[in-house]
Amino acid sequence: MYNFLPFAYFQDKFVPFQEATISIATHALHYGTLAFGGMRGIPDPQDPTQILLFRLDRHCQRLSQSAKFLHYNLPAQKIQAAIVEFVKKNQPTNSFYIRPFVFTSDLGIAPRLHNIDKSFAIYGLELGDYLSPEGVSCRISSWCRQEDASFPLRGKISAAYITSSLAKTEAVESGFDEAILMNAQGKVSEASGMNIFIVRNGQIFTPGFDQDILEGITRDSVFKIAQDLGIQIIERPIDKSELLIADEVFLCGTAARVVPVNRIENYYLSEHRPITEKLREKLTAITENREPNYRDWVFSISIN
């Protein structure tokens, strides 16, 4: 059972979460014409009157870009201002997750993006670990990641998540925690809602944007952190067989943060994963505002 934050931003005002409802005839509900974002926030461990949001500007920018695929002009500055007020209104006391989104809000049956109303809304919930920090087991999904030629993969569009949902359920119902999707060319793409990295001989490798991945913000953060730690990180296609012989494999995303992979199919990976642990510890320190060199990644909001 989720513990939702008490207020939502809905129809240009703040209302109790239970009152932020839509009609069963809402266009986006039927056609997946919704773009969403997600970001984590925590009370500052040093000062609980301050709420820390990780890379707020990048999350707002990505949602603004995703909204363009719905023919909706929503400036990143407007998203950010609404999120800041949302946090002040809710005054969270535990680790939480914010879900801002835009959607086609007309009550219609024709699949279209022109001449149709769009809306912007925000809700949130308390959220601890999305996946076990001790590591997860993965299976190779029988479902393939969509191609950009037929789906706007540079946006975080809700319709894409039918594939993620199928893959996740397939994995869990067959005894695994998470799924790894291949792309149409048979190369590694991503997990059900996270980017994937492998470590071989002290180097990190990850699929590039040409492998039909989402442009992950945590992924971008891992790049910067690895470079600052002097660890080489290379984008290139990755074969399935490389997953099975990698020194380390880890997943990353806003909800999951950095999570090690313990097993892929029936292949067990090493419990010694120094690079994954370095990255995870560094990312945690950054989100808690304990790293002066990354202060520009942390947005602080006073709830006094």
Using one digit for the tens of pLDDT, what is the confidence trace for 77-106?
Answer: 999 999 999 999 999 999 999 999 999 999
Residue 108 has pLDDT above 90, yes or no: no
Q: Within 10 A of 26 (CB to CB), how many other CB atoms are there?
A: 19
**Main-chain dihedrals φ then ψ at residue 209, nearest 5 degrees:** -65, -25
Cα radius of gyration rounded to whole Å, the chain: 19
Please give the pLDDT value at position 88: 98
Q: What is the DSSP letter of 185?
A: T
**Does residue 259 contact residue 177 with C-beta atoms inside 8 Å?**
no
122-150 CB burial, b ≥16 within 10 A, e <16 = bbbeebeebbeeebbbbbbbebbbbeeee
Using one digit for the tens of pLDDT, what is the confidence trace for 255-290?
Answer: 889 999 999 999 999 999 999 999 999 999 999 999
Please give the pLDDT value at position 130: 85
Please give the pLDDT value at position 131: 86
d(CA 141, CA 21): 34
d(CA 212, CA 147): 6
Using one digit for the tens of pLDDT, what is the confidence trace for 128-170?
Answer: 888 888 999 999 999 999 999 999 999 999 999 999 999 999 9
**Main-chain dihedrals φ then ψ at residue 227, nearest 5 degrees:** -60, -40
Q: What is the dihedral of CA 264, 144, 190, 185, to 10 degrees?
A: 100
Q: Both tokens of residue 5? A: 């934050």
Side-chain-side CA neighbours of residue 35 (13 Å): 28
Please give the pLDDT value at position 132: 87
Please give the pLDDT value at position 181: 98
Place of tokens 């950010």: 80
Please give the pLDDT value at position 153: 93
State the DSSP string of 40-107. Answer: EEEEETTEEEEEEEETHHHHHHHHHHHHHTTT----HHHHHHHHHHHHHHH---S-EEEEEEEEE-S-
d(CA 139, CA 144): 13
Q: How confident is the model at residue 110 (pLDDT cuts 50, 70, 90)?
A: very high
* Helices of type H across the chain: 27-31, 56-68, 76-90, 161-173, 217-228, 240-245, 274-287
The structural domains of the chain, ordered by start, are 7-126 (3.30.470.10), 136-287 (3.20.10.10)
Helix axes 217-228, 274-287, angle to 10 degrees: 110
Please give the pLDDT value at position 234: 97
Using one digit for the tens of pLDDT, what is the confidence trace for 189-238?
Answer: 999 999 999 999 999 999 999 999 999 999 999 999 999 999 999 999 99
Please give the pLDDT value at position 175: 98
Please give the pLDDT value at position 133: 86
d(CA 22, CA 30): 12
Residue 51 has pLDDT above 90, yes or no: yes
